[in-house]
Every structure is written in C-alpha cells, then in structure tokens.
Amino acid sequence: MLEASMVREGHWPHSRDQISFRSGDTSSLACYSLSPVSAESQKLLTSARKVAQKISPMPFKVMAAPELQDDFYCSLVDWSSQNIVSVGLERCVYLWSACSGKVTRLLDLSEDGNSVTSVAFNKQGNLLAVGSTYGGVQVWDTVVNRQLKMMQGHAGRVGTLAWNGNILSSGSQDTFILQHDMRMPSLVAERRLVGHQEEVCGLKWSPDNKYLASGGGDNCLFVWDLHSLSPLQKYTRHLSAVKAVAWSPHHHGILASGGGVDDQCLHFWNTLTGELVKCINTGSQITNLAWSKFSSPLVSTHGFPDNHICVWNYPSLRQLTKLTGHSFRVLHLAVSPNG
C-alpha cells in the first residue's frame, strides 16, 4: 500500500487524516506529488528498457558441405525442434547434432542414381521428409534412423516440402502440390493442388495451420486453404521466381515473399484483405525468408550479386545488419529451435 498524508493549514494531520491508495492508483497521487514529472512519465522512465540484440558479424561455427548443390530450386537444409540439422549433399542426407556435434549419415540414394532435392522436419522433430530428383518423397524416423514411407505421385524433382501436423505438402517441377496424410496407409497423395504453371519452389503453412502459401517459377504467389483444390488468392507482382515465402508469427495474416534475380523485391501481403502492405527492392536475388520467433525482425538470404544475409526490422523495413562471408549464393536457411 502507498500512503499519502493530507496537510491541514497550520498543523500536521492526525492519523485519521491519512489516506491510503492502492499501488496502481497513481492518478490519485498526482495532485499531491511535488515532482514536475507526471506519473505516466515516471512509469515510463522507471520501466525496463528493451536492449537491442547484438548480431555478431562472424559465424559461431562453419561446417564443410561438399557437394551442396548450387540450385535455386532446391531446399537442402533444415533444423529440427530437437536441435538436429539435416543437410542434403548430392545423393546423401546427413544429420548433425547441435548438442553433441555428432554427424550421422541417414540415407544414400546412390544405388538408384537419384539425388536429394529437399529436406524438412516435422514440428516434433522426429520425422524427416526427403524429396528427390525422380519425384519420390521418403519419410524417415530420425530417432531410430528408419524409413517409414516412400511416396510417389510427382513426375519431376521435389524441391520444397512443408509439414502441417500429419499432413505433408510437396511441391515439384511438375507444377503440382501434393498433400499426403501420414495417418493413411496409401502411398498416393490424397489431394492434388493445381494452379502454378511452372515449378513449385516455395511452400509454407501459416502459424494457425489453416493456409498454405506457395511460390513458383511462374513468378506467382498463391494462398490455399485446407479444403479447396484451387487457390484462394493469387499475387502476381513479382517479376521472377518466388522461392522465399514466410508467414509472420507476430502479425496475423501477414505474408512475406521474395523474388528471384530479375525481381529482387521483398513484398509484404495482408492475406486478410488481399492487399500489398509494403515493398522494398533489396538489390539482390532473394532466396529465403525467416521471421524471428520472438520479435519483429525478418531475415533474408540473397544470391546474385551480393551473396549476403540481411536482417530487417518490421514494419519499418530498416536494415538492422548485413552479414557477409559466403562467396556464392546463400541458397538455404534454417533457424534454430530456440530462435
């Protein structure tokens, strides 16, 4: 309790003249305060300030990745909720434990003459989907290193994968998006989404798991829901392939997309209204996007001509930092489970 005493003219107050205020009732105290600073300003001055996170310009670890494909349309790195990094290197998939540093070879497609073109962990981090050049999608249990499923359906390479609970979405060079339900015994996709005219190279489910965003080599960005077989929304402002797609976890309905080498623009869409909210030309091919899990910044990775990584503040789009070090295109991006 905060106590304030009323002073009568000519004498100090008796105990019965004392008035008690609740600690939150600062407005009642304002008329008795001798400070020239208002209660609201005092609260602002004494509250804890957010300290801007410092981003080191140097990597804390560098790992060799021989035979990592220099292909814009592939997605060959992911980081699981169990702190395991998966990397597709030509015909093999390797797992690196960020906790122990142990490296494990999960699979090898050499016998079939096949190559790895995409990898994606489920939310729990125990299942890894692997797309390949021949159009197949394998699902592996990474806890026991055992293949659970081998699914067909695509007629071209599978360059992008996205999980939504038990649903696995795959995008392919054949222009289709297939939806597989892991609970079903069938090895054939339950749903086929038709809309893109060129290779599907970007897939992301919204934070509420209701909408799927897809980007393609046809320079188009589509938004689908769980039930329709045709897109709910179609955005055509990009002038090059749309691989970089990311939903904001902090702003409901906000979807970010980045264009390829002939576009280089970062767009922000309000999918609730279908309107373009913001746009900025980054000056380089945009290959990936990822929002911070706990604050507003957005990370973009780039190819020609700068081959760098940028961190942007949203919604101001002020560039917080630029990270350099890669000598070729930064084609793959994954965020650690702790953000």
Helices (H) and strands (E) in the chain, counts: 2, 26
Residue 8 maps to a domain: no
Contacts of 95 (CB under 8 A, 6+ apart): 84, 85, 86, 103, 104, 105, 106, 142
DSSP letters along 172-184, please? ETTS-EEEEETTS
When divided into structural domains, the chain yields a total of: 1
Residues 255 and 269 sit within 8 Å (Cβ to Cβ) = yes
Give the range of the structural domain holding residue 133, as residue numbers without chain letter. 66-194
The answer to whether residue 203 sits within a structural domain is no
Q: Give domain status of residue 169, yes or no.
A: yes
Predicted confidence at residue 79, as pLDDT, reads: 98
Residue 82 resides in a domain: yes
% of the chain residues with pLDDT over 90:
77
Tokens representing 217 are: 């080599």
- CA–CA distances in Å: residue 313 to residues 163, 317, 321: 27, 5, 10
What would the mean pLDDT of 218-227 be, rounded to a whole number?
96
Calculate the average pLDDT of the chain. 88
Q: The domain spanning residue 106 has which CATH number? A: 2.130.10.10
For residues 279 and 296, what is the distance between their CA atoms, to the nearest angstrom? 17
When pLDDT is cut at 50, 70 and 90, the band that residue 249 belongs to is very high
Contact 214, 254 (CB under 8 A): no
Residue 339 in this model has a pLDDT that exceeds 50: yes
SS percent in the chain: helix, strand, coil, step 5:
5, 40, 50
The predicted pLDDT at position 213 comes to 98
pLDDT digit string (tens) for 41-93?
766 666 555 555 688 899 989 999 999 999 999 999 999 999 999 999 999 99
- Band of pLDDT at residue 18, cut at 50, 70 and 90: very low
In a domain, 157, yes or no: yes
Q: Is residue 251 part of a domain?
A: no
CB 75 within 8 A of CB 332: yes
Three-class SS state of 161: strand
Q: Is the pLDDT score of 314 beyond 50?
A: yes
Q: Is 237 exposed, middle or buried (0-12, 13-18, 19+ CB in 10 A)?
A: middle
Q: Name the nearest CA neighbour of 143 among 122, 158, 173.
A: 122
Total residue count of the chain as it appears in this document: 339
Tell me phi and psi for residue 129, to 5 degrees.
Answer: -95, 140
Model confidence pLDDT, tens digit, residues 272-298: 999 999 999 999 999 999 999 988 899
Residue recorded with tokens 């804890």 = 48
pLDDT at 23 over 80: no
- CA dist 140 and 238 (Å) reads 35
Mean pLDDT for the stretch of residues 258-269? 97
- Of 73, 50, 57, 53, residue with least CA distance to 310: 57
**pLDDT single digits (tens) 98-140:** 999 999 999 999 988 999 999 999 999 999 999 999 999 999 9
Residue 19 pLDDT more than 70? no
Using CB atoms within 10 Å of the CB of residue 270, give its burial: 0 to 12 exposed, 13 to 18 middle, 19+ buried.
middle
Give the pLDDT confidence score for residue 224 in this predicted structure: 98
pLDDT value of position 35:
65
105 contact partners, CB below 8 Å, separation of at least 6: 92, 93, 94, 95
33 or 16, which is more confident: 33
Instruction: Give a yes or no: residue 152 inside a domain.
Output: yes
The verdict on residue 224 lying in a domain is: no
pLDDT of res. 112: 86
Full-model pTM: 0.83
